[in-house]
Structure 1
Amino acid sequence: MFALKSKLLEFEGSVLPSAHYANLRVLPRLLRWPVRFLKRLLDGHIIIPKHAEGFGITAIIGGAVVYGSVMGGQFGVAVDSVTAKSGFAVSEIEISGNTHTTANDVFAALRLGEQRSLVSIDPDASREALKQLPWVGAARIAKVYPDKLKIDIEERDAFAVWQQGEALTVVQKDGSVIGGYAADARLSALPFLVGKGAAENGEAFVETVAKFDDLAGRVRAFIRVGTRRWNLRLDNGMTIRLPDEGLEDALARLTDLQNRHGVLDRDLAAIDLRLKDRTIFALTENAQESREAFVKARADAAKKERKERGSRI
Structure 2
Amino acid sequence: MQGIDHDQRAGFSPRPTPPRKSWDRPQAQAQRPRRDPAPSRLAYRLHRMWLTPAFRRLTRVGLPAFLIAFVALLWLSDDDRRASLSGGLTGLVEKVQNREQFMVKVMTINGASGPVDRALRMMLPVDLPASSFDIDLDQLRRDILMLDAVREVELRIRPDGVLAARVVERKPALLWRHARGIEQLDETGHRVASVSERSVRADLPLIAGEGADRHANQALQLFAAAGPLLPRVRGLQRVGERRWDVVLDRGQRILLPEEAPVAALERLIALDQAGDMLARDISLVDLRDGTRPLARIGLDAQNRIRAERGQNPLGPDGREIKTDKKKG
TM-score, length-scaled by structure 1: 0.63
Query: Which amino acid is 2:204 matched to?
Result: L
- The 5-angstrom pairing of residues 82-161 of structure 1 reads 88=103, 90=105, 92-99=106-113, 101-111=115-125, 114-117=127-130, 119-120=132-133, 121-161=135-175
Superposition pairs for residues 157-306 of structure 1, below 5 Å? 157-175=171-189, 177-183=190-196, 187-245=201-259, 247-248=261-262, 250-259=264-273, 262-266=276-280, 268-275=282-289, 276-283=291-298, 287=300, 291=303, 295=307
Letter paired with 2:83: I
In the aligned structure 1, how far is the partner of 2:55 from the partner of 2:45?
A: 20
**Structure 2 unaligned regions, length at least 5:** 1-39, 313-328
Distance in 2, Cα, partners of 1:253 & 1:216: 15
Provide closer, same or farther for how the CA distance between residues 38 and 156 of structure 1 changes in structure 2, counting only shifts above 3 A: closer
Whole-Å Cα distance in 2 between the matches of residues 81 and 21 of structure 1?
A: 53
> How many angstroms apart in 1 are the aligned matches of 2:64 and 2:41?
19
Q: Equivalent residue of 2:307, what SS?
A: helix
Distance 1:109 1:17, change over 3 A: closer
| TM alignment of 1:36-115, pairs within 5 A | 53=75, 57-62=79-84, 88=103, 90=105, 92-99=106-113, 101-111=115-125, 114-115=127-128
Q: Please tell me whether the aligned partners of residues 182 and 196 of structure 2 are also in contact (alpha carbons under 8 angstroms).
A: no
Q: 1:118-163 CA distances to partner (integer Å, 9 max, x unpaired)?
A: 6344443433332222222222234345553332111234332333
- Matched-pair identity in %: 20
Pair 1:35 & 2:63 matched: yes
Larger Rg: 2
C-alpha spacing 1:293/1:63, structure 2 compared with 1 (3 Å): farther
User: Is the 1:223–1:231 contact (alpha carbons within 8 Å) kept by the matching residues of 2?
Assistant: yes
1:309 corresponds to: none
The residue identity in structure 2 corresponding to 1:18 is: Y
Conserved? CA contact 1:118–1:149, under 8 Å: no
Runs of 4+ residues over 6 Å off in structure 1: 37-40, 78-81, 296-300
Letter in 2 for 1:60: R
Conservation of the 8 A alpha-carbon contact between 2:102 and 2:131: no
Deviations 1:57-92 (A, max 9, x none): 44422455689x89xxxx99x7799668x99562x4
Structure 1: gaps of 5 or more residues: 1-13, 43-47, 301-313
Classify 1:265/1:126 alpha carbon distance in 2 versus 1 (closer, same or farther; 3 Å): same
- CA gap of 1:63–1:169, structure 2 versus 1, over 3 A, is farther
Question: How far, CA to CA, are the matches of 2:161 and 2:67 in structure 1?
Answer: 57
Pair 293,36 (structure 1): closer, same or farther in 2 beyond 3 Å:
closer
Cα displacement string for residues 77-124 of structure 1 (whole angstroms, at most 9, x for unaligned residues): x7799668x99562x443211137532111111146x34326344443
> Does the CA contact (< 8 Å) of 1:110 and 1:130 recur in 2?
no
Once the two structures are TM-superposed, the CA of residue 278 in structure 1 deviates from its matched residue by: 4.3
Given that 2:98 and 2:131 are in contact with CA atoms closer than 8 Å, whether structure 1 keeps it comes out as no
Q: CA deviation at 1:214?
A: 1.0
Q: Which moved more, 1:156-165 or 1:126-135?
A: 156-165
SS of residue matched to 1:168: strand
Describe the superposition over 1:34-53 as per-residue Cα deviations: whole angstroms up to 9, x where unpaired: 5257689x9xxxxx8xxx95
- Measured in 1, the distance between the counterparts of 2:63 and 2:226 equals 86
- Displacement, 1:239? 1.6
Partner SS, residue 195 of structure 2: coil
1:16 and 2:42 are equivalent in the alignment:
yes
